[in-house]
Chains A and B, each alone.
Chain A
Amino acid sequence: EPEVTQTPSHQVTQMGQEVILRCVPISNHLYFYWYRQILGQKVEFLVSFYNNEISEKSEIFDDQFSVERPDGSNFTLKIRSTKLEDSAMYFCASSRLDQNTGELFFGEGSRLTVL
């Protein structure tokens, strides 16, 4: 069964450093997302991406965050200058159709620890 894959599974970084989290969505999916989950809390929407551009973003997704689909398979989340409060599990997700129509498939997550 196809699945969303994410790397790295865990990254530890120093405050102020840049981090790139990578995702390979399911191959025939068209909609891509990043969500985050601070330990013990709910899953929060960060950004949605369709047709090579951001379709929606939350207040969390400020100028320190960016997303990119550099080739036909990868979808990346970059945090330019990490802060302690960026420590969380970051989930990539994809769906074949938009959120009102298609099931969302999550990756296993990338745990980011900012020291």
Chain B
Amino acid sequence: GENVEQHPSTLSVQEGDSAVIKCTYSDSASNYFPWYKQELGKRPQLIIDIRSNVGEKKDQRIAVTLNKTAKHFSLHITETQPEDSAVYFCAASNTDKLIFGTGTRLQVFP
């Protein structure tokens, strides 16, 4: 089955800097790759997603890139703000379920 690995597990950046989180997946049939943000004690919330027919997608300060050949995808957050501090999960899907990565705890220091 699908296996998703995510790095780094923790990431600390200064406000205004960029943050990059990387994920790799194992199942070449996976074709949907969402990213979720989870604040402490809250539900995961979708922040951006990408499908396999697209290499890059951007939404304001957030962008995701996908390399299907290498089976990896990345989340890029530019001009980070303290409110970006949270745990970020990547996920992959090719069937009726999402397989999540292990999460990255992002801390943005003012």
A interface residues (Cβ-Cβ under 8 A, vs B): 31, 33, 35, 41-45, 48, 50, 55-56, 58, 91, 98-101, 103-104, 106-109
Contact = CB atoms under 8 A, between A and B. Distances in A.
B48 to A, nearest CB: 11
A70 B49 CA distance: 33
12 contacts: A33-B97, A42-B89, A42-B100, A43-B44, A55-B96, A99-B32, A99-B97, A100-B32, A100-B95, A103-B49, A106-B43, A108-B42
A48 B49 contact: no
B31 interface: yes
Interface string B92-106: 011111111111000
Contacts of A45: 97-100
Contact of A104 (B42, B98, B101): B98
B93 A100 contact: yes
DSSP majority for the B interface?
A: strand
B96 A109 contact: no
B45 interface: yes
A99 B93 contact: yes
A91 B44 contact: yes
A71 B100 CA distance: 30
Given A106-B44, A107-B43, A109-B43, A50 B96 contact: yes
Given A42-B102, A42-B103, A56 B97 contact: yes
Interface string B5-18: 00000000000000
